[in-house]
């Protein structure tokens, strides 16, 4: 089961996230999401656990728990939507405007 963890302290690292969940069962992976330019935490991450029952118990017990002074939120991760451009729907950047190179009205 894939688990979404949000409101993480920016000091939490992958290994810290793994340790939070390891007491509930085997953690297949734990990843704090970082900004691709600054490499700093974005304050959320994902944990994957192979045992669904253990994952459900971890979600129930860790949701709302205080970690580094912050109440974390823990939920089942929703599948990533296909083709999402982040804004929902097609984006428009305005009309053409023509080719000014051949328009000698400067």
The ranges assigned to domains in the chain are: 2-76
Q: What per-residue confidence (pLDDT) applies to 59?
A: 97
Q: What per-residue confidence (pLDDT) applies to 81?
A: 74
Query: Residue 99's pLDDT band (boundaries 50, 70, 90)?
Result: low
* Average pLDDT of the residues in 78-93: 63
Q: What per-residue confidence (pLDDT) applies to 94?
A: 58
Dist CA 30 CA 43 (whole Å): 14
* Average pLDDT of the residues in 17-38: 96
What is the value of pTM for the model shown?
A: 0.74
Residue 25 or residue 104, greater confidence = 25
CB 1 within 8 A of CB 49: yes
Query: Residue 80's pLDDT band (boundaries 50, 70, 90)?
Result: confident
Topology adopted by domain 2-76: Alpha-Beta Plaits (3.30.70)
How far from 30 is each of 17, 39, 44, 72, 99, CA to CA, in Å? Answer: 6, 16, 11, 15, 51
Closest CA to 21 of 8, 10, 11: 8
């Amino acid at each position: 089961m894939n688990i979404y963890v949000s409101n993480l302290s920016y000091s939490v690292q992958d290994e810290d996230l793994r340790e939070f969940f390891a007491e509930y069962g085997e953690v297949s992976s734990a990843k704090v999401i970082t900004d691709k330019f600054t490499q700093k935490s974005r304050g959320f991450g994902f944990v994957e656990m192979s045992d669904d029952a253990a994952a459900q118990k971890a979600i129930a017990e860790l949701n709302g728990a205080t970690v580094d002074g912050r109440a974390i939120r823990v939920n089942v991760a929703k599948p990533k939507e296909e083709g999402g451009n982040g804004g929902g729907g097609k984006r428009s950047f305005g009309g053409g405007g023509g080719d000014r190179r051949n328009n000698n009205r400067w």
